[in-house]
Amino acid sequence: MPPNPSKLSQPFLSILTTTYKRPRMLEICKASVQEQTDPDFQHYDWEDKIGVGIEGQYGYYPQIGEHLTGKYILVLNDDDVLADLDLIAGLKRIIATLGQEPGRGRPEDEMYAAPPG
């Protein structure tokens, strides 16, 4: 599925779903994404047409990444679902609570301190 062209601004989250010959599972996965209470996302499906599998698909991520426009990326395989209808809203709350980008750490936290030297 191509990115949603009707969204003019960058979505908060790009959800990448990889699939290989499992249309029913993909349908269930996509339905769980569409049920999100916060619509600030893009859902992109990538079909593994030759059966490269999970390890092989990583080689395609640079090409797939060109289609993902969200600020953050979530990889959701076709046999997974988003069980929490408020997942995207919850991720936004976490980031707002941190007051910064995830994974950056707070300078005052020792565990995030720059290594000596």
Which pLDDT tens digits describe the chain residue by residue (117 residues)?
A: 444 444 458 999 999 998 999 999 999 999 999 999 999 999 999 888 877 776 677 777 778 888 899 999 999 999 999 999 999 999 999 988 887 655 555 555 554 445 555
pLDDT at res. 76: 94
CA angle 101, 94, 8 (to 5 degrees): 65
pLDDT at res. 68: 92
pLDDT at res. 116: 57
pTM: 0.73
d(CA 47, CA 67): 14
What residue ranges do the domains of the chain occupy? 13-112
Nearest to 4 by CA among 63, 69, 61, 65: 69
Q: Give strand pairing partners of 47.
A: 19
Find all residues with CB under 8 Å of 25, minimum gap 6, and list them: 19, 78, 79
- Beta-carbon count within 10 A of 41 CB: 22
In this structure, CATH architecture of domain 13-112: Alpha-Beta Complex (3.90)
pLDDT at res. 15: 96
pLDDT at res. 103: 56
Q: Which residue has the tokens 């995830």?
A: 102
DSSP classification of residue 60 = G
